[in-house]
Amino acid sequence: MNFIRSLTLRQLQIFVVASHSPSFARAAEELHLTQPAVSMQIRQLEDAIGLALFERVARKLSLTEAGERFSHHASRILGEIKDAEDAMMSLTQADSGSIAVSIVSSATYFAPKLLALYSQRYPKVDVKFSVGNRETLLRLLADNATDLAIMGRPPPELGTTAEPLAYHPHVIVAPLSHPLCNARGFDLQELAGDTFLLREPGSGTRAVVEHMFRQNLFVPARSVTLGSNETIKQAVMAGMGVSLISLHTLALELRTGEIALLDVNGTPIERTWQLVHAGSKQLSPTCLAFRRFLLEHAEPFLESEYARFALRPSRRAAMRAADTVLQRGDTDLAR
């Protein structure tokens, strides 16, 4: 199957965008093209490959098996080309160029503010960021489709470089009407009769709560899976149940007194935000400058935002505790 010579970079770019879009119309909007132009490029790509890359299932655009496989290769090709561009950019100053940043959804509550501050200081740098759960970011890193990721520590077999960015506590929240709102230092087993609201499988928060359950031999009376932090917070405030969630998603609700933190023994669970990139990736001067910016500003920013809730141990103690857990080979919390 000798189709590589007939492919164009534009076709690959259009295919990658379309593969993450619900329709060719949405992909056309993102690419600033017409829908017929996108459809034509995809059709030419399929003709060159000799296989269908998309199919419609219940009116929804989906990738075929060939499309799923080809999407990884296309992302890697485009990532390698961007690496080449970045290598050439190293001959210029670090205050221009582009950066692709990916963040887990829990980081959306603080990362955009840091990105906005960076953009004010370096207006010529084009910062593009995407949001996904842990599994999505791991795939982007493996496909060389992002420069930097803000997430929990990735699995060591992925071959990444991870640097501690900031302390990241997880806390148990409940509605204000919960009978244990004012209790101090009680065991998790006291919540055995509650409904636990969980994030979807594949998210870092889900891995943390499942680890907590195993560590405490705990089985909730009932669990409900919800697809986002916002949905979980609204459900908790409505009295649907309790949840383990990142403290960094709760600034608004805690300031306005709409949600309660439960003082469960063993919480907050100490995790660490990590700044991650592929180990083999050569970061451009622009990326290196952005990396330094995040390492310098993320921790002070989060501390100023959340210190008032008096849940944070010393940074050094938190980092040491997280490192100790990882050195024991605790793969659940390393996720």
pTM: 0.65
Number of folded domains that form the chain: 2
Rounded Cα gap, residues 143 and 316, in angstroms = 34
Q: Is residue 135 part of a domain?
A: no
**One-character DSSP codes across 210-271:** HHHHHHTT---SEEEE-SSHHHHHHHHHTTS-BEEEEGGG-HHHHHTT-SEEE-BTT-SEEE
pLDDT value at residue 329: 40
CATH of the domain at 39: 1.10.10.10
- Residue listed under structure tokens 């031999």: 217
Tokens at 203, concatenated: 């998210």
CATH number of domain containing 226: 3.40.190.10
Three-class SS of residue 139?
helix
Cβ atoms within 10 Å, residue 102: 25
Q: State which of 44, 71, 89 marks the end of a domain.
A: 89
Domain final residue pick, 270, 295, 326: 270
∠ CA 261-245-104 to the nearest 5 degrees?
Answer: 150
Low-confidence ranges of the chain (pLDDT < 50): 312-335
For tokens 């949905």, name the residue: 231
| Pairing of β 97-104 and β 148-151 | parallel
Domain contains 103: no
pLDDT at 313: 43
Q: Is the dihedral of CA 302, 307, 311, 316 positive or negative?
A: positive
Q: Please tell me the predicted confidence (pLDDT) of residue 326.
A: 38
- Whether 163 maps to a domain, the answer reads no
Task: Give the whole-angstrom CA distance, residue 58 versus residue 270.
Answer: 43
Task: Write out the two tokens for 245.
Answer: 């969630």
Secondary structure (3-state) at 306: helix
Interatomic CA distance for residues 260 and 254, integer angstroms: 7
Q: Does some domain include residue 324?
A: no
Q: Is residue 24 part of a domain?
A: yes
210 assigned to some structural domain: yes
| Tokens encoding 1 | 């199957």
Two tokens, residue 272: 């660490």
CA distance 19 to 16: 5
Does 173 share its domain with 266?
yes
Q: Is residue 194 part of a domain?
A: yes
Measure the CA–CA gap between 120 and 107, rounded to whole angstroms: 20
Residue 171: Cβ within 10 Å count: 22
Cα–Cα distance measured from residue 310 to residue 64, given in angstroms and rounded to the nearest whole number: 50
User: What value, to the nearest 5°, has the Cα angle with vertex 294 and ends 252 and 131?
Assistant: 60
Quick check: 297 and 114 in contact, CB under 8 A?
A: yes
Domain that holds residue 54: 1-89
The total number of residues shown for the chain amounts to 335
Query: CA–CA separation, 148 vs 135, rounded Å?
Result: 15
Domain end among 236, 270, 304: 270
| Six-digit token string for 175 | 């509605």
* Whole-number Å distance between alpha carbons of 172 and 322: 19
Residue 307 lies in a domain: no
| CA 148/CA 116 separation, integer angstroms | 16
Q: Are 236 and 186 in contact (CB under 8 A)?
A: no
Q: How far from the centroid of its chain's Cα atoms is residue 308's Cα?
A: 26
